[in-house]
Structure 1
Amino acid sequence: MNGELSELLRRHGGLLTWAAAVQVVPEWTLRRACGAGILLRVLPGVYVDARLAPPPNAPPGLPPNAPPLAPPTVPPSASSLVPSLARLPPELRHRAALAYGYGRAALGGPTALHAWGVRGQPDGEPVHLDVPAGSGLRSRPYLVLHHRRGFRPAPPHALNRRGVPVVRLERALVDAWPLLPAVDRPAPLIRAVNDGLTTPARVRSALAGTPRLTRRAELRVLLDRLAAGCRSPLEVWGHDHVFTGPAMPRLRRQFRVRIEGRAMYLDVYAERERVDFELDGATTHGDPGQREIDLRRDALLATRGILVVRFAHRRLVREPDRVRAEILAILASRRSGR
């Protein structure tokens, strides 16, 4: 490899734009490197060190420097349909997409959620960028551009996160909502709120600026549940199907208590009756370590007269009416002092 080209690739983490490279090396050097398979064109004007990209017939997630694969079992014409951008590791893929944006783009939608750390983006999903309306940029294979009026890849529209421009988390959560599979939609928002990265009120403010969002009503319902104190999909389920309705008293969600210097949050708390209803997720069942932690926590609450009642995920979801009846009976018993 040409020494100057090799140094350019090293300094820029294996990524080059044609416009920047020709300021240092002749065009023929770049063309020869492309022809020899040293450089891989992943987007118009954007090239990477070919050693950083697995071959077209590689399975998703294969490391760039993995041993050579066996000959493909599909015709070359089929394997060549894999976009070059899709073959790159996530961070390099994002940098390549931003290089194509030439300083006018920021990671958006599902890709921004990946950058914020609230949802890992699978290899099969395209990279999403927000760009200004009228930028002249257009979507490419495995790259989706969202043209926004008045957008700039800088505050207040975007922030620099780990060296790359990313739209604000609230904007990303709203924009990604209709793009994600239905089963994946609630988790990033719930995680972002639980991790203290945002609040339901801030996301609701971002939603107000997108009045025509697909599935807007579903997002508003989830925001209402989070504002009410729900902090997991199971708690949202319990709120909608078990812990509200006729005869059910007002209950506190994620109620904070402090005992012997330890702060604890009660899933669903009946303050008058001093009953804590804990909703055990599907992953909790059968974990001896977690069971021991729960028993110690329950004993500590008992020293303050708080009764802990636990409902497993399976039972809560499959027998909501029966669980509801048990809750009402427990609360009635506590009120009567029996």
Structure 2
Amino acid sequence: MHRRRGLTVEPPQVVVRQGQPVTRVEQTLVDSWPMLSPTEQRAPIIEAVNARLTTPERLASALRGASKLPDRAALRTLLTRLDEGCRSPLEIWGHEHVFTGPGMPAFQRQVRIIIGGRSMYLDLLAEREQVNIELDGATTHGDPRQREIDLRRDALLATVGILVVRFAHRRLMHEPDTVRRETLTILATRQPTAARRG
């Protein structure tokens, strides 16, 4: 239960769903932020954005109206990461600890590509080097069906010259420096020949 001062139970503060007035999803997510434990806070917001129920921009707008929200800075950082294209806790971890900083290109996140009528989204694309970094979550590890899907997808991307490099959850979390060095080495080998000589 959450009490809000100044709430008017009519649009635009609420919407009517199946005849019932409910608060907007953005306001609900912002209001629930301090009520959840730190380990639970991110999941509802990430899931709502991934399900296209809302956007980082609309959530940021709702946050601007909650100037006294506890732990507001952490929520603002999460919304920034989602706006930058991160779509999972693992992608946020990778962004903050591995795939940014000296030597790293400005990766494009969640790039949509269509090959042979098949649409797919790439986690991190270094466009100049044509390298796609995929971050494999802990839940996909060991699933033979998912492994087969990944192999077929990687082969399809290879037909248009995109090299797919996959890093598992365990390696990203426990070997971030090694993953960073490997990524930089791979990117260096994929740079255009003239750029390597120069």
TM-score range relative to shorter protein: over 0.9
Q: Distance in 1 between matches of 2:98 and 2:86?
A: 13
Q: 1:227 aligns with which of 83, 89, 92?
A: 83
Q: Distance in 2 between matches of 1:213 and 1:146?
A: 13
Q: CA offsets per residue over residues 189-237 of structure 1, 9 Å max, x none?
A: 1111111111111100010011111000000101110010001110000
- 2:186 is the counterpart of 1:186: no
Q: Which residue does the alignment assign to 1:147?
A: 4
Greater share of residues in helix: 2
Q: Which residue does the alignment assign to 1:24?
A: none
- 2:146 is the counterpart of 1:290: yes
Q: 2:122 aligns with which of 252, 258, 266?
A: 266
Q: Which residue does the alignment assign to 1:241?
A: 97
Q: CA offsets per residue over residues 119-172 of structure 1, 9 Å max, x none?
A: xxxxxxxxx2xxxxxxxxxxxxxxxx40321x2222111122344322101101
Q: Which residue does the alignment assign to 1:302?
A: 158
Q: Distance in 1 between matches of 2:4 and 2:137?
A: 40
Structure 1: stretches of 5+ with no match in the other structure = 1-127, 129-144
- What letter matches 2:68 in structure 1? R
Question: When the two structures are superposed, what TM-score results if normalisation uses the length of structure 2?
Answer: 0.94
Bigger relative contact order (CA 8 A; separation at least 6): 2
Query: What is the total number of aligned residue pairs between the two structures?
Result: 194
Instruction: Tell me the secondary structure at the aligned position of residue 152 of structure 1.
Output: coil
Q: Distance in 2 between matches of 1:154 and 1:241?
A: 44
Q: Distance in 1 between matches of 2:178 and 2:60?
A: 34
Q: Is the 8 A contact 2:129 2:191 kept in 1?
A: yes
Q: Distance in 2 between matches of 1:298 and 1:253?
A: 17
Pairs within 5 Å for 1:41-190: 128=1, 145-149=2-6, 151-190=7-46
Q: Which residue does the alignment assign to 2:68?
A: 212
When Rg is computed on C-alpha atoms for both structures, the one with the higher figure is: 1
* Cα displacement (A) at 1:263: 1.1
Q: CA offsets per residue over residues 231-287 of structure 1, 9 Å max, x none?
A: 111000000000101111111000111101111110011000000000000000000
- 2:175 is the counterpart of 1:332: no
Instruction: Tell me the secondary structure at the aligned position of residue 267 of structure 1.
Output: strand
- 2:59 is the counterpart of 1:203: yes
Question: When the two structures are superposed, what TM-score results if normalisation uses the length of structure 1?
Answer: 0.56
* Cα displacement (A) at 1:336: 5.5
Q: Distance in 2 between matches of 1:243 and 1:321?
A: 10
Instruction: Tell me the secondary structure at the aligned position of residue 139 of structure 2.
Output: coil
- What letter matches 2:54 in structure 1? T
Q: CA offsets per residue over residues 286-312 of structure 1, 9 Å max, x none?
A: 001101100100000000000000000
The two structures, once aligned, show a CA RMSD in angstroms of 1.3
Q: Is the 8 A contact 2:129 2:192 kept in 1?
A: no
